[in-house]
Structure 1
């Protein structure tokens, strides 16, 4: 087993989640004297191979080859800069494609991440359906990783309040 104590903090980010997830990842990186790697996983595509220059080739799940599938990831750089620069933490970004927990785990292994930071899912029907069909990214990571997985609550329930898995009254 590789020594994970000196690796960067990997932070899984999406364009829709609150700033608390990247900020918490940066806080851990700063506290432990580590760099941070922000990773976004495009779930509409999958990794299909590698180009001769080492870049990753992606293929879309969409059978329409005429559709434009170039993901604009400028937002990822902007979020990384906003979260890390003010704290003086060195950062990089990575983009993967496919099933989020598998991609985050593979990148964590590749970079020797000391921990993975992800957020909980947003409440709502679509998010609940996605989690039911694909499972929780955090749960998958927690059961398959040899490194700590930190789950940042996006909308924590009030004490005594209903949690997302409980039926509504």
Structure 2
């Protein structure tokens, strides 16, 4: 029996931008430039909505629902982690501030588990055209850390939708990139 090959990117698998939402990954403390970029792309492509999503890796998905929401539980059953609802409220507040005055509709999803899988589930559920994510390269990251920990890298290798990566920190040409 042959090795299973997942469906590969192909023109027939493209979700047209027009009329389809975008999934925007968010983390606490994220700069508003990612939301502004997503709004600009949504307006340029006619996307009807933005789905802002945070994936809590300290929790796991217990059940996935057709609208992209999930029921999630703490990885550690002995840990009473009710702080997730405070994180969710903080993120919804931040997104609300970023989206104040914008004409693009938006929703928020608090997801759990592995980031690339959770975001892909949401994109499938809402029939999203693409992802918008920010760079998350800190000062002390190395190439291996960047490649293994990059949400954009994981998404670009595990599903067929385009991934728009928004820089949140740049280095001048004389300086060293964070992974150098």
CA RMSD of aligned residues (A): 2.7
Q: Aligned partners of 2:98, 2:79: CA distance in 1, in Å?
A: 36
Gap runs ≥5 in structure 2: 1-12
Q: Aligned partners of 1:95, 1:130: CA distance in 2, in Å?
A: 28
Structure 2 length-normalised TM? 0.78
Length, aligned pairs only: 163
TM alignment of 1:19-38, pairs within 5 A: 19-34=32-47, 35-38=49-52
> 2:175 maps to what in 1?
161
Is the 1:4–1:114 Cα contact (8 Å) retained in structure 2? Answer: yes
Larger mean CA deviation between 70-79 and 150-159 belongs to 70-79
- CA displacement at 1:83 relative to structure 2: 2.2
Matched, 1:150 2:150: no
Structure 1 length-normalised TM? 0.82
Of residues 132, 135, 139 in structure 2, which corresponds to 1:117?
A: 132
- CA displacement at 1:84 relative to structure 2: 2.3
- CA displacement at 1:15 relative to structure 2: 1.0
Matched, 1:43 2:53: no
Q: Aligned partners of 2:174, 2:57: CA distance in 1, in Å?
A: 35
Is the 2:69–2:111 Cα contact (8 Å) retained in structure 1? Answer: no
> 2:26 maps to what in 1?
13
Is the 1:4–1:112 Cα contact (8 Å) retained in structure 2? Answer: no
